[in-house]
């Protein structure tokens, strides 16, 4: 799991790996596993599942707003469901899960520091598939998985912030170059050159950066640059 940080640092890749490992870790009685990352309102922001039946069972929890996964996340504790045919804590979801052939479920919260990221859950097609040992095992697994997911998400968020900053700086540089081109070609000051870019952008319903890029590209080709309507110059 930690080797993931050296390769492809994406939350979805981490979720897929954690889900597969959970399935293998919890033994032969487990028919599927899933992981969900939730926001503060309990809505999924990303998820992974080992099969269609797990994905459907998870989706039903969020559609019905009830189920062991949501309970584990909100209560920050392991939740065990021994038999979907008789458990009445989440009657609508349990009935739907039983209809999918799922009889047992075990969910554990993904908590990193003081933040509940989401929950991990496993399902079995037999009642009473999980016991106290299973609860301890999934709880320990969830703790390590939460640290991994938190680290991966931090890396991804930092990378996204860096990309946004780089793009912002690029936009600023393009506009600065366009102003320089207009100052030289139109013999105007910096403020007038910027006002010219803005007026063209408004008139043509284009983004300021796009107009600036057009000015710079035109100058590179040695063609005429953008001018206000009527060809007037500004001083």
Task: List, run by run, the mean pLDDT of 10-residue segments along the chain (235 residues).
Answer: 50 80 85 88 81 94 94 95 96 96 95 86 95 92 81 62 62 82 85 86 84 85 60 42
The predicted structure's pLDDT at residue 57: 95
Tell me what pLDDT residue 226 has. 58
Q: In terms of pTM, does the model score above 0.75?
A: no
Give residue 74's pLDDT: 93
pLDDT, residue 234, reads 42
* Nearest-angstrom CA–CA distance, 212 and 197: 7
How far is residue 222's CA from residue 215's CA, in Å, rounded to a whole number?
11
User: Would you say 34 and 54 are in contact if contact means Cβ atoms under 8 Å apart?
Assistant: yes
Q: For position 178, what pLDDT does the model report?
A: 84
CB atoms within 10 A of CB 136: 12
26 contacts 137 by C-beta, under 8 angstroms: yes
List of domains in the chain: 2-159 (3.30.450.40), 164-231 (1.10.10)
Q: State the helix-helix crossing angle for 68-75 and 52-64, rounded to 10 degrees.
A: 60
Q: What is the pLDDT of residue 199?
A: 85
Q: Give the pLDDT confidence score for residue 173 in this predicted structure.
A: 78
pLDDT value of position 174: 82
């Amino acid at each position: 799991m930690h080797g993931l940080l050296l390769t492809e640092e994406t939350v979805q890749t981490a979720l897929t790996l954690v889900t597969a490992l959970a399935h293998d870790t919890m033994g032969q009685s487990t028919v599927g596993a899933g992981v969900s990352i939730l926001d503060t309102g309990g809505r999924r922001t990303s998820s992974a599942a080992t099969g269609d039946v797990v994905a459907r069972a998870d989706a039903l929890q969020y559609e019905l707003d009830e189920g062991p996964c949501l309970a584990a996340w909100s209560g920050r504790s392991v939740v065990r469901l021994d038999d979907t045919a008789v458990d009445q804590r989440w009657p609508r979801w349990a009935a739907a899960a039983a209809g999918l052939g799922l009889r047992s479920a075990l969910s554990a919260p993904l908590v990193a520091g003081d933040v509940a990221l989401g929950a991990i859950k496993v399902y079995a097609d037999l009642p009473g598939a999980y016991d106290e040992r299973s609860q301890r095992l999934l709880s320990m697994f969830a703790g390590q998985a939460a640290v991994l997911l938190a680290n991966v998400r931090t890396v991804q968020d930092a990378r996204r912030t860096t990309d946004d900053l780089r793009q912002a700086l690029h936009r600023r540089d393009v506009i600065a170059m366009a102003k320089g081109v207009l100052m030289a070609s139109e013999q105007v000051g910096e403020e007038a050159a910027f006002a010219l870019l803005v007026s063209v952008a408004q008139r043509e319903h284009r983004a300021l950066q796009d107009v600036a890029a057009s000015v710079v590209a035109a100058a590179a080709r040695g063609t005429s640059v953008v001018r206000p309507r009527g060809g007037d110059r500004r001083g």
